[in-house]
Amino acid sequence: MALPLEEALELYRRMLRIRFFEKKMDFLFTHGQVHGTCHFSIGQEASAVGACAAIQEDDVVMSTHRGHGHALARGLPLNNLMAELMGRVDGFCSGRGGTQHVMSWKHHFIANGITGGTAVTGTGIALAFALKKEPRVVLSFSGDGAINEGHYHETLNLAAVWKLPIIFLCENNLYAMSTHTKESMVLQDISKRVESYGMKSITIDGNDIEMVKETVSSAVQNARTGLGPVFIECKTYRFSGHSKNDLFLYRTREEEAQWLKKDPIEKYEKIIKERYGESNETFKRIHQEVEQELDAAAIFAQNSPFPPEASLLDHCWCSEGGLP
């Protein structure tokens, strides 16, 4: 069933916010304001926004090294997210988590840079919900590379045996760093492998935001009513490189061009125009508003100080003082 226009425009705006946020981070990184590296999710906005739109406020989102989009889709405020990524005190972890380890318990959001770690810790949280008989679910994002980790398979098995309330959402963007899925697995539909654990498992077009939202909604219903976990493979593509210093030498320009034609944001703009008769003006306005929000967030983050040097060892359990 088609979504009401207002909801469709809101989903569009959230995807655009992610794309512009990533572009802004790229700019700030190039200008020496973000340190380490960054993994952008440009091209994968529909799976983040569609999935997060299907869960409730007190459900938990486990996110990956490529997690800026998940955080924004979850509704983490732009200002504090940008401050975190720039290592400032106003970040969610006072700048200590940085781009791969943003955590905001207020938003029930935890990112984890360990490939496949989101499934393991997410399953632990789902077990806690089950034991406490809380009607909450975990939405655990991962990439296609994570599915080749041993711990991921142990987790899938236990989650299925114990019928835990968790949705494993795998963003299959065809690559784990520079390794194409054809080099790392025989079956190209990951959902077929997961089926063997005895859970519902499905592959969908991850660039179709309405399909993602609908599929995750029904998985959430499954998990919340005690019927156990669901695995959803979203086929998608990252338009940017793996991380900041990636020159894309392992993929062809033709392949990129094919996927650019399936851009989730352009695709949805076209659908909204055709279905509801919205004009270019509407989209121009949304673009301007999102750009303004991001400019303001960058100023907020730049004005936030770095944590004081004296706090360097705070929260470190192995520091001289021993365990807190």
User: How far is 193 from 148, CA to CA, in rounded Å?
Assistant: 11
Contact of 3 with 11, CB cutoff 8 Å: yes
Q: Closest approach of Cβ 143 to ligand TPP, in Å?
A: 2
Q: Closest approach of Cβ 133 to Mg ion, in Å?
A: 35
Closer CB to ligand TPP, residue 143 or residue 206? 143
Contact residues for ligand TPP, defined by CB under 6 A: 65-66, 113-115, 143-146, 173, 175-177, 242
User: How far is 60 from 73, CA to CA, in rounded Å?
Assistant: 13
Q: Closest approach of Cβ 171 to Mg ion, in Å?
A: 7
> Contact with Mg ion (CB under 5 A): which of 47, 140, 155, 173?
173
Closer CB to Mg ion, residue 178 or residue 282? 178
The structure tokens listed for 312 are 């360097």
Find the residue with minimal CB distance to ligand TPP: 143
123 near Mg ion, rule: CB under 5 A: no
Closer CB to Mg ion, residue 184 or residue 221? 184
Closer CB to Mg ion, residue 149 or residue 214? 149
- Indicate which of ligand TPP, Mg ion, none lies near residue 229 (CB less than 5 to 8 Å, by partner kind): none
Q: Closest approach of Cβ 83 to Mg ion, in Å?
A: 28
Identify which of 76, 229, 211 has the alpha carbon closest to the alpha carbon of residue 156. Answer: 229
Contact of 85 with 68, CB cutoff 8 Å: yes
Q: Closest approach of Cβ 261 to Mg ion, in Å?
A: 20
User: How far is 85 from 125, CA to CA, in rounded Å?
Assistant: 25
* Phi–psi pair at 273, nearest 5 degrees: -65, -45
Closer CB to Mg ion, residue 87 or residue 241? 241
Closer CB to ligand TPP, residue 113 or residue 307? 113
Q: What is the crossing angle of helices 264-276 and 45-52, to 10°?
A: 60
> Contact with Mg ion (CB under 5 A): which of 67, 116, 143, 241?
143
144 near Mg ion, rule: CB under 5 A: yes
Q: Closest approach of Cβ 141 to ligand TPP, in Å?
A: 9
166, amino acid identity: I
Query: Of 74-82, 165-173, 192-200, 302-310, which part binds Mg ion (CB under 5 A)?
Result: 165-173
- Beta-carbon contacts of 53 under 8 Å, excluding residues fewer than 6 positions away, are 11, 14, 73, 213
- Indicate which of ligand TPP, Mg ion, none lies near residue 66 (CB less than 5 to 8 Å, by partner kind): ligand TPP
Query: Of 88-96, 108-116, 138-146, 199-207, which part binds Mg ion (CB under 5 A)?
Result: 138-146
State whether residue 82 is helix, strand or coil: helix
User: How far is 4 from 17, CA to CA, in rounded Å?
Assistant: 20
Closer CB to ligand TPP, residue 139 or residue 146? 146
Q: What is the DSSP string of 57-79?
A: TTSEEEE-SS-HHHHHHHT--HH
DSSP 114: S
Please report, as residue ranges, which positions from 63 to 102 form the binding site for Mg ion (by CB under 5 A): none
Binning the chain into helix, strand and coil, the percentages to the nearest 5 are 50, 10, 40
Contact of 232 with 216, CB cutoff 8 Å: yes
Which residues form the interface with Mg ion (CB under 5 A)? 143-144, 173, 176
